[in-house]
Amino acid sequence: MIIRIVKLHFKAEELEDFKSYFESIAPQIRKFEGCHHLELLQQVDMPEMIYTYSYWEDEDALERYRYSELFKTFWAVAKSKFAGKPEAWSLNKIAVVEG
């Protein structure tokens, strides 16, 4: 299982439009083969900083998504609204701590 975190810095005036767009396309991303989870997170102290948090079956599934028409469409819309360069991390879960 791969956990993918992507940090996106949006122009303040584009933020609500992006969030609406994400809500419309998220069901398609969630149905993409190999996607097990997808969330959109917003930084508390900098609301224009948005993060996607997703779980993928493996690196191959993530790569298939990244080269898909669905991703190309999503990325073109998102990219037009950026105020800064995106950052991304792919991680392996190594421990779960339960309270």
Query: CATH number of the domain that 37 lies in?
Result: 3.30.70.100
| Domain-embedded: residue 60 | yes
- Looking at per-residue pLDDT, the higher value among 94 and 6 belongs to 6
How many other C-beta atoms can be found within 10 angstroms of the C-beta atom of residue 78? Answer: 20
Rounded Cα gap, residues 21 and 92, in angstroms: 29
The DSSP secondary structure of 35-62, one letter per residue, reads EEEEEEEE-SS-TTEEEEEEEESSHHHH
| Domain-embedded: residue 21 | yes
Whole-prediction pTM: 0.92
Print the domain residue range for 30.
2-92
Task: Report helix, strand or coil for 91.
Answer: strand
pLDDT value of residue 73:
96
- Residue 97 pLDDT grade (very low, low, confident, very high; cuts 50, 70, 90): confident
pLDDT value of residue 93:
86
| Domain-embedded: residue 98 | no
| Domain-embedded: residue 67 | yes
| Domain-embedded: residue 99 | no
Task: Report helix, strand or coil for 8.
Answer: strand
